[in-house]
Structure 1
Amino acid sequence: MRLLIKKPSRLGLVVFFFLIILFSLLILSNSLSHFRSILSDNLHGGKKPLENIIIVKIDDYSIEKIGKWPWDRSIFAELLKKTEDAKIIGLDLSLFEPSSNDKSLIKALKEMNNVVLASELTEEGLNAPIFNLPHHGYVNLNADSDGVIRSIEKYDVDYLPFSFAIYKFGWNERALFENKKFFINFISKPESFSFINAYDLLDSNPNFKDKIVLIGVTAPNLHDAYFVPTSNGVAMSGVEIHANILQNLILDNFVEKQSRISILLFVFFAGIFGMFLLSQIRINYTIPIVLILLLAYILNSIIIFSRFNYLLDLFFFPIALLSFTGAGIGVNYLEEKKQNLHIVNAFGKYVNKDLLKEILSRKRELRLWGEKKNITVFFSDIRGFTTLSEKINPEDLVSLMNYYLTEMTKIILKNKGTVDKFIGDAIMAFWNAPIEEKDHSYLACKTAVEQIQILERINKELSRKNLPSIKIGIGINTGEAIIGNMGSEERFDYTAIGDNVNIASRLEGLTKQYKSNIIISESTYNAVKNRLKCKKIGLVNVKGKKLPVNIYELIVR
């Protein structure tokens, strides 16, 4: 697998910044928090509850055995007496209105001094318990838009949440509940803590020394249950949610979420990596690499959450990686299509179909905007063309030229040459560019021989059309030249320039003087002498060269 880093195109940059802005707006607006929360919910659970947290549940069984709800408050007094040796007791019950039998409960509360009662925040203010105790906390739980409880926060500056009031009273009197949102680290599915139902408690004498006891309703008909990240379709009682919060406070392991700025940075790097790196790899490599990266990210997120209670965003980074990679592939496809069209327009008429396919398949290796390269240059010219053009009418001249140039071009293309240009009756071509061709000198000479050989057939056809026969001269030189797209901003061609190009042209001019069909330079001769028959002409002065050079006639058999 070979990765060539390309300079980003204008379209690629536009798409990149468009997606960056789009993701930034989505992240900063928090508009997709619902989907993000659903994904992160799956990370919760798999932890053990603290053994010293006990929940006394008022369930359907207890109500069936003890009697219809609401119970006489003397029963609550009995429950408190059964748990009086606990370190602290949280009574998650609505005791906001007096009843006919409050005396026994008041007596129990005054004697114990380790009970935190439940209060409730309403639009009118605080609904405090009727018993004038200093320790109470509001039990309000606010669900997200999808009805799931995921966090707790300070809803009123003057009052504390129920679980924090228990923590402050039992562990740290100096603790301050910060004015921010705390994300609850749910330990496991509903009913994972140690439970005992109220009826069984009244009928036994368990030891609650050093325990934290929470008393609350769990019966479904009493409507104090909520969906949480670990619910899996089963609601969790409010008292158990408070137990989870209390455990988070004791262990200091609330969930810390990735900040929006951090998510933006992740998206930015996903954009660069996906759009400008992954998208340049072959598609059959890109898909597995993306899948491996996503899997690695998810596995790391699980490990980080499990060990450090830090929640990496599971929505934006994967979506960004997929989006930017997909966009990069799309942009590259359009750019490649545009580049292919440019190459076809540039070379379609000047190279054969097989060579064009090779150019397209190896276009990343092309250097179309200028390079020095060893090539073989070919020039051919019709002898006496000026005289010929004066003897026949324009229509016949055009017909002759089109027929001749077509036949000559076919031979050049067949031998993997690049037709540079037609200059009147002259043809310029070269080999070894844009695609490397080791045998370029031989192929150029082979082309020249075949063109001379086919002249007999061409002249017969011209004779049949009552057109004059023609003779040509060909000059070939091998050497370094500058190759690339040259021209104006409106129009340019892929061509070759330099002294070695000029020498090939001048060798063609010498064919008439030496009465030869094909003259080649010494550099070309050295490349083909073991394969083609050549005859040394001798030293000649060539314009552009200070010293005379050897030239050779290529013999046509």
Structure 2
Amino acid sequence: MLFYLSAHYIHVMPEGKLAKVYNRKLLPWQYVGSLCIVLALLGEMAGFWTLRLMERLEWLSYDLRVQATLIGDKDPSIVLIDLDERSLSEIGQWPWTRHQIAELTTILFEEYGISILGFDIVFAEPEGNLLAQQWGQLRERYPDLPPAPDVESGDAILASALATYPVVMGYYFQSQAGDSDPPSSGALPIPLLVDAEPEIIEAVPWPRPERFTGNLADLQHAALGGGFFDNPFVDADGVFRRVPVVQYWEGALYPNLPTAMIYTLFGQPPVTLKVSEGAGIIQLETIELGGFEIPVDARGGALVPWYGPRGHFTYISAADILFRRTDPRALEGALAIFGASAPGLMDLRSTPVASVYPGPEINASMLAGILHQSYKAEPPYTLAAALLVLGIVGGLSTLLFPRLQAVSIVASSALLAAIHTGLNLWAWQQNWVLPFASGLVLLLLLSLWHLTMNFWRESQQKSWVTDRFGQYVPPELVDEMVHTPESFGLEGEQRDLSVLFSDVRGFTSFSEGIAPTELTNVMNRLLTPITKAIHQHRGTIDKYMGDAVMAFWGAPLADAEHARHSLEGAFAMLQALEEINREFTAEGMKALAMGIGINSGPMNVGNMGSEFRMAYTVMGDNVNLGSRLEGLTKAYGVNIIISEATATAAPDWACRCIDRVRVKGRTTPISIYEPIGIHIELSSETKEWIKRHEKAMNAYAQQQFRQAYDDFSHISHDYPTDNVARLYLERIDHYLAEPPGPHWDGVWTHTEK
């Protein structure tokens, strides 16, 4: 309503040129701000500076695209020989003996007919000869024993198996070595045979590790090849998105495990590097081996071609291989990777498709990507294209948005975002990875910037209207009506609310001893902390009536827990009164008491009044009942009385029913309750007191007055401050003298407010 009046008033008022004035003042700043946003994002995309938030948003957008376009088809030619929990349970904890590893290798090739085996595990230390060790210990005790029998070592047995079959060993590099780290150990495999000039190989910024941990020399030399399984390209959020295809060590290039398996499988053909050169800079684009191309970035890193969630590839437990429980046809001709998925072996990674993902399955994905040529590429020209598109979108938005209305800005941004998303997904299907989040963020920031500036101009106009309408409507309500989308009609609306009435007892006699000039200050000192207690618990002050306060919960902002918040506010009010009383008594004034009544239910709420003055208030029968409950607090000698509706709507609170009554102005009886506190915070003594009270009330309701009298007498003796117990003793005395009769319903009628 107010928006309509405001807009109408602006159009007809003499100051209708106000908008043009604000446009002239703010329009240059609008262009400058928009241009700064465009340049900031272009610079970030071009690499002139790094915005951490943008970096993480790009990672998130990449992960979402991966998850939305997983291939899903299984490749039966790739299997994972899994060192899982079941294998550890059946065969024993890792490491297994080299004899067992040799037996596993032999079974895989001889009985299951696999094509090649890659170890995603490193054998860096020699296996001790257990028999020789035990025999030596026996000879120390029995010197006459002959030397230990000559038994072939486990390492020799495994080396023999490795030399017999096409096996690729795994090892790892370490990017940064500290002073306390040991030197490199073990042996490296033969490096890649690269068909490229040495100066080109040297010019590429490959990962250049500082140390390595390889396999025992006898084992590595027995195998056909080897590949690393570490990843120095893990993103700052700990997620595996790309891995290096090769790493540079002492003038040679060494492949990762999947690449080494393909390299070995095809007879170790020469590897070709496809590079582009411009402005004296060599840019690596592709690594090719055996007719297969792997698109890489400038450092030789490739995006992992994800195929599916964890468990997408075929897993076969190592125990099932050793015990020959697997159908031989399941592995015939397969490319096998032996690795661990057991959590205790720490080979689990965070990836775009799962937060816990086995490392061997990452290698399987890389292997499948080479075979199916499903790698996604980020060639240099894609960045140039993205920069061009971002510049065009930013420039058009900067020129057009300041001249558009809010709806047009939102519609234009949505259209541009849809086009940007469509083009990006089309490129993704072509295996090109383009920056995605930067375009959406640019549109979002430009839209927010221009909408904010438009809102600022409108707010200047609205403030002009607010100042004038404030002469007729309270300014705080005008401000709320201007800044919220809700309708505040004069007719109001019906909501489920909680209303609170409070009254300070004895304030009249309290104020008699105070000079009239000081009474205002005393009232402010009294009402300020009480109001603060209400506001802190989401309450709305309706009005002050002398020393009385009326407040409600659930409007203007909806509150599903209005009953609970009203109880919290009531107890906070009592606590605030205690603090005020300490100040008053220290100053020689009397301490004050307060009665509070709360009721919940449907009430009418809204701007009510006349065309000259409106007030945001609540009305209705349930509001009147709240006022009546406050009046009953004095009769029952309690601080707070609530209705059954409020008690039911706040189940976390423990309440005791203190009576069934008819209040003045209502014929329907109601149950009234005294809130005690939150259930879980009550002491066992308090819970016992409530239980005894309920027992006494049940006896009273059933006209077992003698029993009820005894129960209330004991309560009054044990809890001298329980005014309700004393009231019932007096009431039962009356009923014992004058029994109420068989039609008595247990309801007490109050004739005063």
Of the three residues 234, 240, 248, the one matched with 2:369 is 248
1:38 is displaced (CA, Å) by 1.7
Structure 2 contact 31–402 (Cα < 8 Å) conserved: no
Structure 2 contact 377–432 (Cα < 8 Å) conserved: yes
Percent of counterpart pairs with the same letter? 19
* Equivalent runs, 1:30-429 vs 2, <5 Å: 30-32=50-52, 33-45=55-67, 46-47=70-71, 48-84=73-109, 85-100=113-128, 101-112=154-165, 114-122=166-174, 123=177, 124=183, 125-130=211-216, 131=219, 132=221, 133-142=223-232, 143-153=234-244, 154-157=246-249, 158=252, 159-171=254-266, 173-176=269-272, 177=287, 179-204=299-324, 206-207=328-329, 208-231=331-354, 233=355, 235-257=356-378, 259-305=382-428, 307-330=429-452
Question: Matched residues in 1 for 2:404 and 2:83: separation?
Answer: 62
Structure 2 contact 80–314 (Cα < 8 Å) conserved: yes
Structure 2 contact 42–391 (Cα < 8 Å) conserved: no
Distance 1:129 1:140, change over 3 A: same
- Per-residue CA deviations over 1:530-555 (Å, capped at 9, x if unaligned) read xxxxxxxxxxxxxxxxxxxxxxxxxx
Question: Matched residues in 2 for 1:283 and 1:9: separation?
Answer: 15
1:288 is displaced (CA, Å) by 3.5
Structure 2 contact 383–434 (Cα < 8 Å) conserved: no
1:136 partner SS: strand
For structure 1, the 5+ residue unaligned runs are 1-5, 340-557
Residue identity in the other structure for 1:24: L
Structure 1 contact 91–118 (Cα < 8 Å) conserved: yes
Residue identity in the other structure for 1:34: R
Distance 1:63 1:243, change over 3 A: same
Distance 1:135 1:321, change over 3 A: same
Structure 1 contact 263–316 (Cα < 8 Å) conserved: no
1:184 is displaced (CA, Å) by 1.2
1:201 is displaced (CA, Å) by 1.5
1:117 is displaced (CA, Å) by 0.4
- Per-residue CA deviations over 1:368-402 (Å, capped at 9, x if unaligned) read xxxxxxxxxxxxxxxxxxxxxxxxxxxxxxxxxxx
Residue identity in the other structure for 2:231: L
Question: Matched residues in 2 for 1:13 and 1:296: separation?
Answer: 24
Structure 1 contact 280–332 (Cα < 8 Å) conserved: no
Distance 1:10 1:286, change over 3 A: closer
Question: Matched residues in 1 for 2:161 and 2:375: separation?
Answer: 34
Residue identity in the other structure for 1:107: S
Moved more, 249-258 or 48-57: 249-258
Residue identity in the other structure for 1:317: G
TM-score (norm 1): 0.54
TM-score (norm 2): 0.41
Structure 1 contact 135–165 (Cα < 8 Å) conserved: yes
1:64 is displaced (CA, Å) by 0.3
Distance 1:82 1:262, change over 3 A: same
1:226 is displaced (CA, Å) by 0.3
Structure 1 contact 53–211 (Cα < 8 Å) conserved: yes
1:260 is displaced (CA, Å) by 4.1
Question: Matched residues in 1 for 2:34 and 2:56: separation?
Answer: 26
Residue identity in the other structure for 2:313: F
- RMSD of the alignment, in Å? 3.0
**Is 1:20 the equivalent of 2:38?**
yes
Structure 2 contact 118–336 (Cα < 8 Å) conserved: yes
- Per-residue CA deviations over 1:109-140 (Å, capped at 9, x if unaligned) read 1111x110001113342322111134001111
Distance 1:214 1:97, change over 3 A: same
- Per-residue CA deviations over 1:74-99 (Å, capped at 9, x if unaligned) read 11112211221222211111211111
2:255 partner SS: coil
- Per-residue CA deviations over 1:48-94 (Å, capped at 9, x if unaligned) read 24221111101001110111221111111122112212222111112
Give runs of ≥4 in structure 1 deviating > 4 Å.
Answer: 6-10, 176-179, 329-339
Question: Matched residues in 2 for 1:337 and 1:70: separation?
Answer: 72
Structure 1 contact 148–227 (Cα < 8 Å) conserved: yes
Distance 1:169 1:279, change over 3 A: farther
Matching residue of 2:131: none
* Equivalent runs, 1:461-540 vs 2, <5 Å: none
Question: Matched residues in 2 for 1:313 and 1:301: separation?
Answer: 8
Matching residue of 1:473: none
Residue identity in the other structure for 1:146: D
- Per-residue CA deviations over 1:181-237 (Å, capped at 9, x if unaligned) read 211121111110011111111222513332111111110000011011100x3x111
Question: Matched residues in 2 for 1:217 and 1:170: separation?
Answer: 23
Question: Matched residues in 2 for 1:169 and 1:83: separation?
Answer: 18
2:76 partner SS: coil
Residue identity in the other structure for 1:15: G
Question: Matched residues in 1 for 2:453 and 2:398: separation?
Answer: 9
Residue identity in the other structure for 2:229: V
Structure 1 contact 280–329 (Cα < 8 Å) conserved: no
> Number of paired residues?
331
1:309 is displaced (CA, Å) by 2.2
Question: Matched residues in 1 for 2:395 and 2:261: separation?
Answer: 49
